[in-house]
Amino acid sequence: MLFSDIASHLRLSFVGKDVEIDSMNELSLSSPSQLAFAVHKRYSLELKSSKAKAFLITNSLIEHLPLDSSYIVCEDVSLSMAEATKLFSKKPLEPQLPNAVIGQECYIDAIAKIENGAVIGSSVTIMAGAYIGTNVTIGDNTTIYPNVTIYRDCVVGSHCIIHAGTVIGADGFGFSHTKTGEHVKIHQNGNVVIEDDVEIGANCAIDRAVFNSTIIRRGTKLDNFIHIAHNCDIGEHSLFVAQTGVGGSTKLGQNCVVSGQSAFSDHLSIAPFSTFTARSGVTKSITQSGGVYSGFPLMNHREWKRLQAKIGKLND
């Protein structure tokens, strides 16, 4: 797709060369063939070092563009970005793709559905009512329980277990907003990657990324009723207890332990070997490894216990 086509779709003009664009991405991760965007001046350094050749920006960021960049000046970059994502959104089904490739010694129930383009490894079990979408890849020795749904382009590793009712790759909850209060969908054009030896409980939801991948790294175990939002990165060998949720683009290091009904805000970075007791509310990044935390607002677990003891004495 040409940059001029994107400008036409946005009903805006562009400056610079009419370059070929194949997808969208974040500033720091963009390649020369991708469209990037910058909303605030705080991204000026990332803008200067970006490898992208085409940008959606505000007037105030023109001076920070890399040399020989093409760009569209937007009144509302967030809104224009949302409208542009529609151009790169794939159809849910592509029946023209080759039939699914299925490895040896698999059990696939007669009422499981596997779309064209999927690749299934050896010794995989897929039970009744499961749906495996277009271009999904599943590794060897993985078990998919009844009524699991895996949307297109997602990747599931080897030796994984995914329990009944879980949905992998549904759209992340992303919208831009007009001045008159309408909500414009940000099309979620990435995928979900589940690495090897991951177990996911019943009725979990792991959302696909806006760009790139939502990642559940190897050895991680998720209990039932857990929500992992778009673009999250869950470190290897982490443990999540039931009814926990992680906001978009939050990254947890390896071996984190998250107890029941805990919640994480978006765009956080959590150090490895962090432990959160039940109903923890995490709203700030954690940089020091090995801590144990409780409560909302979040605090060191020992401080939280002392506070609870003092509160208990108020009734005496």
Which of 227, 230, 237, 267 is an active site residue?
230
SS3 161: strand
State yes or no: is 230 an active-site residue: yes
201, 227 in Cβ contact below 8 A?
A: no
Characterize 8-19 residue by residue with b for buried, 16 or more Cβ atoms within 10 angstroms of its Cβ, and e for exposed. Answer: eebeeebeeeeb
The token duo for 227 is 């929500």
27, 47 in Cβ contact below 8 A?
A: yes
141, 161 in Cβ contact below 8 A?
A: no
292: DSSP letter: E
Distance between CA 203 and CA 188 in Å, rounded? Answer: 21
Q: Which of these, 9, 16, 10, 3, lies nearest to 70 by C-alpha position?
A: 16
Q: Which amino acid is at 78?
A: S
Distance between CA 308 and CA 198 in Å, rounded? Answer: 36
Q: What number of CA atoms fall less than 13 Å from residue 98's CA on the CB side?
A: 5
Measure CA 271 to chain center.
19
Report long-range pairs for 116-123 (Cβ below 8 Å, ≥24 apart): 121/158
- The DSSP bridge pattern shows strands 292-294 and 299-300 to be antiparallel
User: What is the set of active-site residues?
Assistant: 230
